[in-house]
Amino acid sequence: MTYLDHLSYSSISSYLMCARAWRFHYVDKVAVPTSPALVFGSAFHTTVEEHVKTFLATERVPVVERWGRAWSTTLEGKTVEWGTDSPEKLYNDGVRMLTHPETVALLDGLRPLDAPNAIERKVELHVPGVPIPVIGYIDMLEADGVPADFKTSSKSWSQDQAAGEMQPCFYLVALNQEGYTLNPGRRFRHYVFVKTKTPQVQVWETTRSWVELFWMFTLIREVWQAIDSGCFPPNPGTWKCSPRYCEYWGICRG
């Protein structure tokens, strides 16, 4: 498997969604346009992280100015298939969300752990039976030691949705393997910025059991075994398998 030197949470999630789409992206490296949602989420994510990172600075850059910079940088060099969206609309959506009082209050109250790698904390997980590491980046370790992730969404989340996310399992088991001791309750927080007409910010805190964390090892090992054996079947039963959502529809089923 010479074309891989590591796995990531996103690549494992992508494989589980559709192994054939995974092959198009990671093996065949098929070039496809970037989706508007990916551009928006990436720019918003950068804005929030940069805002939180500099909370101790004497002169803070206004969040809207930071959003403008992140938006421009994210668009550079990308071919975007805008569809019914437009860059102006999505840029204004970001301004509207970031200036909403609820968002402003939450962002101004976030505090990272007093450590040099509290923002975009790199973690590296080593799974028995998998010859390459699984690498990820935690958006923020909060002042109380709990890892957190920033999400944008077109719809509100539910408690069950937050509890069912696999991402916390990966981050928590990676931190545990590194000897991280500041989160004994195995808690995790999702900050969900909802792109509705009236912007919302949801904070979901969930926990994971040791059984769930050890299950993550099994999942990663079995995904790796399938990849290593060259098993890349399509998954037509998933919501992504449609010309609207799958960027590889044209070469797979079109």
Query: Same structural domain for residues 46 and 103?
Result: yes
Residues 216 and 140 in one domain: yes
How much is the average pLDDT of 27-44? 92
∠ Cα 100 156 169 (to 5°): 110
Residue that terminates a domain, selected from 59, 94, 110: 110
Predicted confidence at residue 245, as pLDDT, reads: 84
Q: Could you list the residue range(s) of the whole structural domain that residue 72 is in?
A: 33-110
Is the pLDDT at 165 greater than 90, yes or no? yes
Any domain includes 236: no
Q: What is the pLDDT, as a whole number, of residue 83?
A: 83
Residues 11 and 122 occupy one common structural domain: yes
Helical segments of the chain, H only: 9-17, 19-22, 36-53, 63-75, 87-98, 101-109, 159-164, 167-178, 210-228, 249-252
Q: Where are the alpha helices (DSSP H) in 54-155?
A: 63-75, 87-98, 101-109
The answer to whether residue 54 is domain-embedded is yes
Q: What is the mean pLDDT of the chain?
A: 93
Q: Is residue 99 part of a domain?
A: yes
Residue 237 lies in a domain: no
- How many percent of the chain have pLDDT more than 90? 80
Same domain, 198 and 106: no
For residues 82 and 163, state if they share a domain.
Answer: no
CB 187 within 8 A of CB 203: no
150 lies in a domain? yes
Q: What is the mean pLDDT of residues 144-171?
A: 96
With cut-offs at 50, 70 and 90, classify the pLDDT of residue 1.
low
The answer to whether residues 215 and 133 belong to one domain is yes
pTM here is 0.91
- pLDDT band at 152, cuts 50/70/90? very high
Q: Which two tokens stand for residue 57?
A: 């600075």
Residues 198 and 119 occupy one common structural domain: yes
| Residue 242 resides in a domain | no
Does residue 176 share a domain with residue 66? no
Are 123 and 214 part of one and the same domain?
A: yes
User: Are residues 175 and 104 part of one domain?
Assistant: no
Question: What is the residue whose two structure tokens read 């301004």?
Answer: 95
Q: Is residue 43 part of a domain?
A: yes
> Does pLDDT of 208 surpass 70?
yes
Does 156 lie in the same domain as 102? no
β partners of residue 112: 142
Counted domains in the chain = 2
- Domain-ending residue, one of 110, 136, 168: 110
Please report whether residue 252 resides in a domain. Answer: no
Question: pLDDT class for 54, splitting at 50, 70, 90?
Answer: confident
221 and 137 in a common domain = yes
Give the residue from 110, 128, 149 where a domain finishes.
110
Whether the pLDDT of residue 82 is over 60: the answer is: yes
pLDDT band at 57 (very low <50, low <70, confident <90, very high): low
What mean pLDDT comes out for the span 118-123? 95
